[in-house]
Structure 1
């Protein structure tokens, strides 16, 4: 067993698992803030009920997300100490700001929102959940800035005496061209994911033959959520198109691997489906759209896209023989082609299906209609998972497509691993963390299903003095 392989598996499992909660947190916080602000403006109690109902589901997701996110920080020190030593002066800055600014903003105002019902003025209370959402955006921005630096290092200088990359321009790190296209793409994907969750929950409640008043309540959730899925889905396509062109500019090998393009082509076709040889060195069958890859990569239908083989030779000439090449096929500086190829398509395909499904649901619920049938039930179950999985596949593509680099052009993954940690130690932590995460998954799903089944609780007016000086539990029931 090689410690590098096990460390990579551990980071992949824990990071993908953690990111299942992140987009739901970002998307739901925005939607809940919108519901509460709408209630303040309309005084329609249905919006308040939706605020409290989805607020409970948001808190469950937020709590599990925080717990699973803590592990990510510790992995850098345990499994990737050489990486931490090399990039700490750069990578640590945005992560520190994220912890000191963004997370404290989220946690402080989330606490005020949870315990502030009937205690804070209504507008201030609504502002609290809005600031929670702002905090999630700040958190996403600074974390993505750190990741974008790994994709396209800027704002640093290499110190040969210390053997470290040292930051000399924080603004350049925050305004990295990769960051400026990645942030809107990720946030729009999060809005899409949170909204799909709302649609799925609301549609399932409608199908339970709830009372007419509650059906109207859940219809509001379904239709607002479906509209957000459609709008954000369009935004994801536009931002993804821009991101693809930037990716081609700074990481041409990733785009070539995403298509399985082995030689330079102009124009380059986009394959909807492709099979290759077992060693991954060439294609054997494909179904292609002419010129589409050139359009995605260069903005013109006849632009030239560099292929895997010439890029590999260029990288060997520039950087020398890759010390981590034994982990990748078909050779030096090449990611795992099948994984990169299919995650790229699953990311796009699942997102497209989610958008189309949301449009169908929006049409099916027009004019106070309540759709029925097994197909609608399956749509309610499937829709929340489609953008969630698209997000996961998108991150797998982003990180796998960068391989064998941990920091593109500066440090390979094999060079980044901790030299003093044995395979047995990494394997032990992998097994323990995977088991703990499995337990947390059961807890998360059980809590969500329990509170979804309860539905939106009716509003209870205990009178103006009901909350004064008593010891009511400040808990999930608010």
Structure 2
């Protein structure tokens, strides 16, 4: 028997992960394109103009697909999560409205000017346009994350009874939502992640061009700038992730316990395990390849300190949230998924740091051309970066379960009263549509990357 709640969750997860494939590329790539054009304006080096226009093509393709998938993403709230939308509409509405009316309009307006004004306006003004687009993408990310952060850490609202829809959240403090501590732990992590993904996208494409011996002098410069950005981004990603981990230990210990498959309380020096076999029914886990004291260090910046296990936390959460949920439920999320998502994410970030460090060394020694094996590996780093991104979101969102809004609304309470067959049908439609969009993106990217002219026609 198909479960409409499970299907709705699968559909939301699939559309979100697919949409977020394009978001970090857009944010990171446009920032680097702005840097490339600024270097061109400052130095007059035509190579950087070529780089700007070449990657400008790819950015526009990615931006367009990202906009389409973002619009489709919003349909999810009305289609499958109408109860949630009714409950939290007063809170989500302002953030999403500001994102659309301010950030998206800033992006779309100045990206149009940037496309059609090559050689028509002052170079500095033209470069300013792409910088404003970059600022717009960051603003979009901020306002979307402010809405997501409310789901993780609800603040600035009161809960009232409505004669039409029943209980709902009403905003009473907009600044509290902006100052949400979860937001300010999450936003830097997402920004550094976007820089990392965008930088590896450009570095990977530049490497691919150099392997094929196409405009080596041009793409060597693109590689050098982007690989340095990739190193900065990946190190920043590690640091902000570490800070977020410590925040979660304090505020959301169940999510951390699930990410470490800790059913029992740890000792004073908690080890970090690389692998584990997890039995959720028996509430047991066997850990392998343990690094002594490392989990304590990740949690407290010292090799001492204990963490609570899921059994202890289950009792605490049941006592705390029983008045909200109205029944005794299991507050333990899907442990194997979260545990291995965290490890795949962490391992992927380690690979990205290593590759960006090697690339930076090779670039400054001017030996990257001789490292053909390295250049052949570089395009695959985009896939590694996207896997890290997807796993990070899976851990963040599944770790919130069984709540849709943590401590306020259970996931099962927010779903629309749809039949399983209707949700399954829409899921299949989205799969077909997104497959078509993915193929179109691939074909457009491939066509643009295979152009062999040494100068680019106007983007317009």
- TM-score bracket, shorter-length normalisation: over 0.9
User: 1:207·1:372 contact (CA, 8 Å) conserved in 2?
Assistant: no
Q: Which structure 2 residues correspond to residues 363-382 of structure 1 after superposition, within 5 A?
A: 363-372=361-370, 375-382=373-380
CA offset digits 1:170-204 (Å, max 9, x no partner): 11101111101110110011000000011110011
Q: TM-score, normalised by structure 2?
A: 0.95
Answering whether residue 256 of structure 2 is matched by residue 255 of structure 1, we say yes
In structure 2, relative to structure 1, the CA distance for the partners of 1:383 and 1:324 (3 Å cut) is: farther
Task: Provide the residue aligned with 2:433 in structure 1.
Answer: 436
Query: Distance in 1 between the 2:342 and 2:456 partners?
Result: 46
Query: Which stretch of the first structure deviates more once superposed, 159-168 or 118-127?
Result: 159-168
Answering whether residue 451 of structure 2 is matched by residue 454 of structure 1, we say yes
Task: Provide the residue aligned with 1:467 in structure 2.
Answer: none
Query: Distance in 2 between the 1:175 and 1:56 partners?
Result: 37
Task: Provide the residue aligned with 2:159 in structure 1.
Answer: 158
User: How much is the aligned-residue C-alpha RMSD, in angstroms?
Assistant: 1.9
Alignment equivalent of 1:297, drawn from 296, 299, 307: 299
User: 1:105·1:131 contact (CA, 8 Å) conserved in 2?
Assistant: yes
SS of 2:269 mapped into structure 1: coil
Q: TM-score, normalised by structure 1?
A: 0.91
Task: Provide the residue aligned with 2:322 in structure 1.
Answer: 320
User: 1:324·1:412 contact (CA, 8 Å) conserved in 2?
Assistant: no
In structure 2, relative to structure 1, the CA distance for the partners of 1:267 and 1:201 (3 Å cut) is: same
Query: Distance in 2 between the 1:57 and 1:237 partners?
Result: 27
SS of 1:64 mapped into structure 2: helix
Structure 1 residue ranges (4+ consecutive) displaced by more than 6 angstroms after TM superposition: 321-326
Q: Which structure 2 residues correspond to residues 118-133 of structure 1 after superposition, within 5 A?
A: 118-133=119-134
Query: Distance in 1 between the 2:128 and 2:454 partners?
Result: 23
**How many residue pairs align between the two structures?**
455
Task: Provide the residue aligned with 1:472 in structure 2.
Answer: none
Alignment equivalent of 1:311, drawn from 305, 310, 313: 313
Structure 1 unaligned spans of 5+: 461-475
In structure 2, relative to structure 1, the CA distance for the partners of 1:234 and 1:370 (3 Å cut) is: closer
In structure 2, relative to structure 1, the CA distance for the partners of 1:24 and 1:280 (3 Å cut) is: farther
CA offset digits 1:210-246 (Å, max 9, x no partner): 3xxx212111111111111111111111111111111
In structure 2, relative to structure 1, the CA distance for the partners of 1:365 and 1:406 (3 Å cut) is: same
Task: Provide the residue aligned with 1:275 in structure 2.
Answer: 277
The alpha-carbon deviation at position 158 of structure 1 amounts to: 1.2
Query: Distance in 2 between the 1:459 and 1:446 partners?
Result: 19
In structure 2, relative to structure 1, the CA distance for the partners of 1:269 and 1:370 (3 Å cut) is: closer
The alpha-carbon deviation at position 160 of structure 1 amounts to: 3.6
The alpha-carbon deviation at position 373 of structure 1 amounts to: 6.4
Q: Which structure 2 residues correspond to residues 14-413 of structure 1 after superposition, within 5 A?
A: 14-161=15-162, 162-210=166-214, 214-265=215-266, 266-277=268-279, 279=281, 281-320=283-322, 332-372=330-370, 375-413=373-411
CA offset digits 1:266-318 (Å, max 9, x no partner): 33221112122363611124221122222222333222211111111111111
The alpha-carbon deviation at position 324 of structure 1 amounts to: 11
In structure 2, relative to structure 1, the CA distance for the partners of 1:69 and 1:116 (3 Å cut) is: same
Query: Distance in 1 between the 2:453 and 2:8 partners?
Result: 43
User: 1:205·1:455 contact (CA, 8 Å) conserved in 2?
Assistant: no
CA offset digits 1:371-406 (Å, max 9, x no partner): 356633541231121112111111111101111111
User: 2:54·2:456 contact (CA, 8 Å) conserved in 1?
Assistant: no
